[in-house]
Amino acid sequence: MADSSTQVRPGGRSAKVRAAVHHAVAELLAEEEAETLTLPAVAARAGVHPTTLYRRWGSTAQLLNDVATSRFTDDLVVPDSGSLAGDLQRWLADVATDVADPDTLALMRATIGSGPAGGCACVEDRHRQLGAIIRREQDRGGTALDVETAADFLLGPLYYRAIFTPEPASADWARTLVSTYLATLRTP
């Protein structure tokens, strides 16, 4: 009975405001620099009163965390091609395509800059997806992989290129990354 006095009300209007605000954040990050991303600016773009943003989110950091979490959660379908290599290649290619979008990158950068937990909000679901792929391979009777190590070798180079280097990471490059990673497993 933890805090039963205040009941949430995610009805039509709140959901509509939330969607408009999320859309406004993505728009503003896509077109201008992250400097001008203030709560009044987002409110004006979303057609919502600034007070609403101050009350619901409080700061741009929490708003960005919310936007990034919902943006990078359940946005990709975990493939089931029948083999580990196929699943990983399909999935990482999708991730690479997603990360190659400049608007997506802008959201990631802003979220990372908003606080220590910003990065986690961007890749938390990716780790869940990778875990699902690995678990499925294990159920097939295949090799048991460590999720963290796989993330180091697959997501590591991909996100590193996206954030820290100007050169893009294509879907083909992601597939090559999976091949070389699986090759290292067969030859310890």
Residues that bind DNA (CB under 7 A): 5-14, 17-18, 35-36, 38-41, 47-52, 54-56, 58-60
**Binding partner of residue 109 among DNA, a second copy, none, CB under 5 to 8 Å per kind?**
a second copy
Q: Is 112 in the site for a second copy (CB under 8 A)?
A: yes
- At its nearest, how many Å lie between DNA and the CB of residue 118? 17
- At its nearest, how many Å lie between DNA and the CB of residue 59? 7
The contacts of residue 9 (CB under 8 Å, 6+ apart) are none
Burial class (CB in 10 A: 0-12, 13-18, 19+), 1: exposed
Q: What is the number of other CB atoms lying within 10 angstroms of the CB of residue 139? A: 8
Q: Tokens 């009805």 belong to which residue? A: 11
Pick one of 47, 82, 113, 168: the residue that binds a second copy (CB under 8 A).
113
Pick one of 27, 73, 157, 175: the residue that binds a second copy (CB under 8 A).
157
CB environment 162-181: b (16+ within 10 A), e (fewer)? beeeeeebebebbbebbeeb
Q: Is 168 in the site for a second copy (CB under 8 A)?
A: no
